[in-house]
């Protein structure tokens, strides 16, 4: 019985699940789900060549708290009104000979992700629209919308892959005017470039010298504000003394922080608010909340997205100037008037194509608080007309006219043939035909459709028109204004290039005449203004806002995570240098270090230079301060100079070395090395040039950390050794004449010279094998550093205009120094370690060439043979011992003791000719070398070079074998 109940429950649950699934996604033609939450004006037929659809992308609902509650969010008037205008235009202009035109509109809920999902679901046949004359992806030929720039960019990127045209009615970002990125994008609305032109010309006309800026942190706000800054810089009459980014969904606390920054600079008075109306109101309300009296001291300057919307300024005691996009006179104005007349007579019962109109109607007529009657009620006076409605109508008309032209060109008639609807052809054909209509000029709206009004708002008079604009800067017509007192919050205004007089009497002379100065009364006469020549450049900057040395914090705290890798690599490098140094010192224990120091000191100095390079890298880990900027600026140049100066001196030693045997008696220890005093003087001269360059730089431009605005519009601390122009000021990275990276690179020109000279000399000395062919390794260290320098120099220089260009410069300097130092460390000291390991107790290295100082020396076999009772060696020199011999045990009764010509007997190992047999075995397989002159009696004063040292066992020597040599070990 229990099993039967369980089975019944399973069947019941399965049935409910299937029923729910069918309600959610019923099966239809092609297995697609039918999506009903759309606005749909169906075509009158379904013949493939006699109908097509236009898609509409509108944000009907505001952005909900999450992606699952779109339908519960408030209706957005702009989205719904433009959606109605879209369907009205389809019906009004959709008669196209025998071809029927329909429209389908989708709600994005003000989300980019939803917009993309809507398009992809339809274009990939996952959902379908409509039962009667259902919409087909093949016959949906173009889209209108969306109205936000961020959404429009995402849609344009997607439609590029789908070969479908997009005509947006409200996306105004200048970034969209990029044919390479958005080849099928058009807009029927003027771009933000016109807003920036109007505001710039208006400030110039009103003689506003200083201005504050607040912009929204999205594509619209950033690109529009950057365009405005560029135009202000070109005009050269207005300076942006402060700017800040407003988060898209700013909290009350964030708004209060922005308001506080503006209040601190209230003397400037004029604030450009590059945001939409809702966020502009939040900002003004935040200032009013902090201090109701302060908000009246400002003039707010708004864009066309704010226009004359009274909802922005209601109950706020503010003054403002705004830009209002208007409908140009002519056919477009007529179409707009006809639409609004239609809308005011529209009733929910007949508006079957719009599933959201009923909610809009109820909200506007307050049907929840009273009884609404369609027969007597209307929308007249219940809504605010939207500025973008005429441009939506224009977008629909342009698509219809363009497709008509494309059909005639591709098919010879208005009907749609396969040649037009082919996926590969439709994009270029339809786009080209639409762009070719009279409405557009190179992706943008034609000038004759551009019309603006400049408005002034005050509490007493509301919005009044004070000027007009018709598409070009010369068409601005502005009535005379009486602006408020406009001052910079700091005097002199350093951010705008106003520089105080320097203590030096040789300060800049703009003309042969003396400098004209005026005392600044607002600062108690503490400063003087100096007139500089237009376009004059300066390197270095000083401000009251410099970062103190005790304000240390790591770059990681501000999101620069690349310092993690840098810190780890720098630490590993320091450890590697210490390991090399400890090993070399251990190997030298028991040797006559005092007599070897003149060949060792260069190697030790090279290690020091590499170690100094790694230590300098740690300065990059901190947010720039005066101390870290000075360390970086001085440390990089001196580290490089130390490394390459040592390498160059080493090469000079090698080039001046000699192997003439006549010199051996004169200098037993190292006859082939340049005297130590000359080596030292050469090094001091080589490295001293770079030290003078860096010291002079530090004196002329004392290191400081200053806060500037990056290319991305954010504030950041950077070192002050960049070059700027008095025309644009020192606070904006986009206007730098040379960045701090470029100036630092120029300070290293002498180091580049050292690298090239060292590489050339190394190539010249490559055949000289003094000091175990060290010239080869020097050539590797210097030659391979050339492409490394080219790489990090290009990466840092070519990326300076990116949003994070300052980080690219610092990272390239840091990692470039690390790679070069590491290359020098391993190319120069790994061979040294190998030589020390393979060097015998006699202090002689088997791989020495036959023409070195050790020419004619008896050289032992490799260490792997030294532990054998008898090791083999070849003696090739002329004389008695010119044939191969072997080294035997000194205690072997068969061993033959050698004599010098003087008759003295030595206890050196005996030598037997190669190939001779003794007993049952033959001896052979040894290395061929020459017998020294001292063994043949040529140089009897050098008995120390004979092989007569006591050899310890491995247990006595330990793991690391010491050299215990009387000979030079080379320039370690």
pLDDT tens digits, 520-548 = 444 444 455 566 676 788 888 866 556 66
Residue 538 gets the label, from left (phi > 0), alpha (psi -120 to 50) or beta, of beta
Helices 770-783 & 749-764 angle (0-180, nearest 10): 140
Q: Which two tokens stand for residue 579?
A: 């390991």
Q: How confident is the model at residue 277 (pLDDT cuts 50, 70, 90)?
A: confident
**Bridge partners of 639?**
none
- 786 vs 506, residue with greater confidence: 786
Q: What is the pLDDT of residue 852?
A: 43
Predicted confidence band at 877 (pLDDT cuts at 50, 70, 90)? very low
Answer with the residue of higher pLDDT: 95 or 190.
190
Q: Which of 28-37, 759-768, 959-968 has the lowest mean pLDDT?
A: 959-968
List the alpha helices (DSSP H) in 357-454: 357-365, 389-411, 418-421, 423-435
Confidence class of residue 812 from pLDDT cuts 50, 70 and 90?
A: very high
Residue that is written with structure tokens 């994009």 in the block: 427
CA distances from 469 to 324, 450, 474 (A): 10, 8, 9
Per-residue pLDDT for 482 more than 60? yes
- State the pTM of this model: 0.54
Read off the pLDDT of each residue in 31-57 and give the average, rounded to a whole number: 85
Residue 440 pLDDT level (bands cut at 50, 70, 90)? very high
pLDDT category of residue 820 using cuts at 50, 70 and 90: very high
Which of helix, strand or coil describes residue 392?
helix
Is the pLDDT confidence value at 920 over 70? no
Q: What is the pLDDT of residue 667?
A: 43
- CA 130, 134, 137, 139: dihedral to nearest 10 degrees? -130
E runs forming strands in 506-652: 517-519, 528-530, 537-539
Q: Are 784 and 776 in contact (CB under 8 A)?
A: no
| Least confident piece of the model among 50-59, 185-194, 464-473, 483-492 | 483-492
State which of 585-599, 616-630, 830-844, 846-860 shows the largest mean pLDDT: 616-630
Instruction: Report the alpha-carbon distance of residue 284 to residue 315 in Å, rounded.
Output: 11
Write down the residue that tokens 């224990």 correspond to: 589
Confidence of residue 90 (pLDDT cuts 50, 70, 90): very high
Helix (H, G, I), strand (E, B) or coil at 212: strand
**So what's the pLDDT on residue 960?**
42
Locus of tokens 């068969």: 894
Instruction: Output b/e per residue, 349-363; b: 16+ Cβ within 10 A.
Output: eebebbbbbebbbee
3-state class (DSSP) for residue 636: helix
pLDDT at 384 over 60: yes
pLDDT at 92 over 70: yes
**pLDDT above 70 coverage of the chain, percent:** 74
Q: Which of 81-85, 142-146, 966-970 has the lowest mean pLDDT?
A: 966-970
Q: Can you tell me the mean pLDDT for 476-493?
A: 84
- Residue 553 Cα distances to 556, 625, 634, angstroms: 8, 10, 21
- On whether the CB atoms of residues 148 and 220 are closer than 8 A, the answer is yes
Q: Residue 22 pLDDT > 70, yes or no? A: no
Mean pLDDT of 614-634: 91
Residue with more model confidence, 25 or 97 = 97
| pLDDT of 599 | 58
User: HEC string of 303-362?
Assistant: CCCCCCCHHHHCCCCCEEEEEEECCCCCHHHHHHHHHHHHHHCCCCCCCCCCCCHHHHHH
Asked whether the predicted pLDDT for residue 7 surpasses 50, the reply is no
User: Which pLDDT belongs to residue 47?
Assistant: 86
Contact 444, 454 (CB under 8 A): no
Mean pLDDT score of the chain: 77
d(CA 412, CA 440): 24
Res 787: pLDDT: 93
514 near 672, Cβ under 8 Å? no
| Each residue's pLDDT tens digit, 99-144 | 899 999 999 888 899 899 999 999 888 888 877 778 888 889 999 9
**What burial class does residue 295 get, using C-beta atoms within 10 Å of its C-beta: 0-12 exposed, 13-18 middle, 19+ buried?**
buried
Instruction: Please determine, for residue 167, whether its predicted confidence score (pLDDT) is greater than 90.
Output: yes
**pLDDT for position 856:** 36
Q: Is the pLDDT of residue 642 over 50?
A: yes
Of 771 and 409, the structure prediction assigns the larger pLDDT to 409
In angstroms, the Cα distances linking 693 to 466, 638, 723 are 58, 10, 17
Of 969, 695, 924, nearest to 832 by C-alpha is: 969
Q: pLDDT at position 801, please?
A: 82
Higher pLDDT, residue 565 or 931:
565
Q: What is the pLDDT of residues 294-350, one digit of tens each?
A: 788 889 999 888 888 888 888 887 888 999 999 988 899 999 999 999 999 899 988
For 171, the token pair is: 């996306």
Q: Supply the pLDDT for residue 234.
A: 86
**pLDDT band at residue 413, thresholds of 50, 70 and 90?**
confident
Do 225 and 218 meet the contact criterion of CB atoms below 8 Å apart?
Answer: no
The answer on pLDDT for 930 being more than 50 is: no
pLDDT of residue 89: 95
Q: In the predicted model, what is the mean pLDDT of residues 66-92?
A: 89
Other C-beta atoms lying within 10 Å of the C-beta of residue 834: 13
What is the dihedral sign for C-alpha 26, 32, 33, 35? Answer: negative
Max CA distance (Å), the chain: 140
pLDDT of 900 strictly over 60: no
pLDDT tens digit sequence for 837-846: 655 444 444 4
């Amino acid at each position: 019985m229990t099993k039967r109940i369980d089975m019944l429950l399973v069947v019941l649950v399965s049935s409910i699940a299937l029923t729910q699934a069918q309600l959610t996604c019923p099966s239809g033609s092609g297995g697609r789900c039918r999506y009903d939450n759309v606005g749909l004006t169906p075509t009158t037929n379904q013949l493939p060549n006699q109908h097509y659809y236009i898609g509409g992308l509108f944000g009907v609902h505001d952005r909900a708290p999450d992606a699952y509650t779109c339908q519960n969010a408030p209706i957005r008037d702009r989205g719904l009104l433009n959606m109605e205008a879209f369907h009205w235009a389809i019906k009004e202009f959709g008669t196209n000979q025998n071809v029927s035109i329909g429209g389908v509109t989708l709600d994005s809920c003000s989300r980019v992700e939803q917009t993309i999902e809507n398009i992809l679901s339809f274009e990939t046949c996952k959902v379908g629209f409509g039962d009667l004359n259902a919409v087909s992806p093949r016959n949906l030929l173009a889209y209108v919308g969306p109205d936000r720039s961020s959404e429009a960019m995402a849609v344009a990127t997607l439609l590029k892959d789908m070969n479908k045209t997009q005509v947006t009615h409200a996306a105004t970002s200048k970034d969209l005017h990029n044919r390479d990125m958005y080849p099928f994008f058009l807009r029927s609305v003027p771009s933000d470039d016109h807003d920036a032109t109007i505001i710039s010309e208006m400030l110039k006309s009103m003689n506003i010298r200083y201005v504050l800026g607040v912009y929204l942190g999205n594509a619209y706000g950033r690109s529009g504000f950057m365009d405005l800054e560029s135009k202000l810089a070109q005009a050269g009459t207005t300076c942006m003394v402060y700017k800040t980014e407003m988060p898209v969904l700013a909290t009350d606390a964030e708004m209060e922080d922005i308001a506080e920054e503006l209040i601190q600079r209230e003397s400037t008075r004029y604030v450009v608010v590059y945001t939409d109306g809702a966020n502009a109101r939040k900002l003004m309300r935040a200032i009013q909340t902090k201090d109701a009296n302060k908000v009246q001291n400002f003039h707010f300057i708004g864009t066309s997205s704010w226009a004359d919307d009274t909802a922005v300024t209601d109950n706020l005691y503010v003054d403002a100037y705004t830009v209002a996009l208007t409908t140009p006179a002519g056919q477009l104005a007529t179409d707009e008037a006809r639409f609004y007349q239609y809308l005011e007579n529209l009733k929910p019962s007949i508006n079957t194509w719009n599933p959201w109109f009923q909610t809009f109607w109820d909200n506007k007529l307050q049907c929840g608080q009273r009884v609404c009657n369609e027969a007597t009620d209307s929308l007249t006076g219940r809504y605010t007309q939207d500025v973008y409605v005429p441009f939506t109508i224009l977008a629909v008309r342009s698509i219809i006219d363009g497709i008509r032209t494309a059909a005639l060109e591709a098919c010879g008639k208005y009907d749609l043939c396969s040649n037009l609807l082919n996926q590969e052809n439709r994009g270029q054909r339809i786009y080209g035909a639409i762009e070719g209509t009279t409405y557009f000029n190179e992706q943008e709206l034609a000038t004759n459709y551009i019309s603006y009004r400049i408005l002034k708002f005050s509490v007493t008079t509301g919005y009044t028109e004070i000027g007009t604009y018709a598409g070009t800067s010369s068409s601005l017509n502005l009535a005379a204004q009486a602006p408020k007192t406009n001052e910079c919050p700091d005097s002199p205004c350093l951010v705008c290039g106003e520089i105080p007089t320097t203590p030096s009497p040789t300060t800049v002379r703009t003309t042969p005449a003396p400098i004209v100065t005026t005392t600044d009364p607002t600062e108690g006469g503490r400063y003087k203004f100096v007139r500089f020549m237009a376009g004059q450049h300066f390197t270095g900057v000083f401000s009251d806002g410099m970062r103190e040395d005790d304000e240390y914090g790591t770059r990681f705290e501000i999101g620069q995570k690349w310092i993690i890798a840098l810190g780890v690599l720098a630490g590993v490098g320091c450890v590697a240098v210490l390991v090399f140094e400890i090993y070399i010192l251990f190997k030298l224990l028991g040797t006559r270090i005092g007599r070897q120091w003149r060949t060792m000191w260069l190697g030790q100095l090279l290690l020091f230079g590499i170690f100094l390079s790694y230590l300098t890298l740690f300065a990059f880990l901190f947010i720039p301060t005066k101390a870290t900027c000075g360390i970086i600026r001085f440390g990089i140049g001196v580290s490089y100079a130390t490394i390459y100066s040592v390498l160059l001196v080493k090469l000079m030693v090698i080039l001046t070395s000699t192997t003439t045997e006549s010199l051996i008696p004169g200098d037993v220890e190292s006859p082939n090395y340049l005297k130590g005093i000359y080596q030292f003087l050469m090094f001091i001269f080589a490295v001293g040039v770079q030290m003078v360059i860096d010291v002079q730089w530090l004196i002329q431009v004392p290191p400081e950390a200053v806060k500037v605005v990056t290319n991305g519009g954010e504030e950041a601390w950077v070192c002050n050794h960049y070059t700027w122009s008095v025309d644009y000021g020192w606070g904006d990275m986009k206007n730098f004449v040379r960045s701090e990276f470029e100036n630092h690179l120029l300070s290293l020109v002498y180091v580049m010279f050292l690298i090239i000279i060292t590489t050339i000399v190394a190539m010249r000395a490559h055949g000289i094998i003094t000091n175990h062919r060290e010239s080869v390794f020097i050539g590797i260290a210097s030659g391979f550093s050339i492409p490394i320098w080219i790489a990090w120099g290009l990466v840092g220089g070519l990326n300076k205009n990116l949003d994070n260009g300052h980080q690219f410069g610092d990272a390239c300097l840091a990692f470039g120094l690390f790679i070069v130092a590491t290359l020098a460390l391993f190319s120069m000291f790994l061979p040294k370690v190998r030589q020390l390991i393979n060097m015998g107790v006699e202090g002689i290295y088997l791989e020495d060439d036959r023409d070195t100082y050790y020419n004619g020396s008896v050289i032992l076999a490799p260490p792997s043979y030294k532990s054998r009772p008898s090791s083999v060696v070849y003696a090739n020199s002329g004389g008695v011992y010119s044939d191969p011999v072997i080294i035997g045990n000194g205690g072997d009764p068969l061993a033959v003791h050698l004599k010098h010509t003087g008759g003295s007997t030595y206890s050196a190992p005996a030598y037997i000719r190669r190939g001779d047999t003794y007993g049952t075995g033959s001896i052979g397989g040894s290395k061929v070398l020459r017998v020294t002159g001292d063994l043949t009696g040529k140089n009897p004063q050098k008995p120390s070079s004979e092989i007569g040292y006591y050899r310890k066992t491995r247990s006595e020597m330990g793991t690391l074998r010491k050299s215990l040599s009387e000979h030079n070990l080379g320039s370690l």
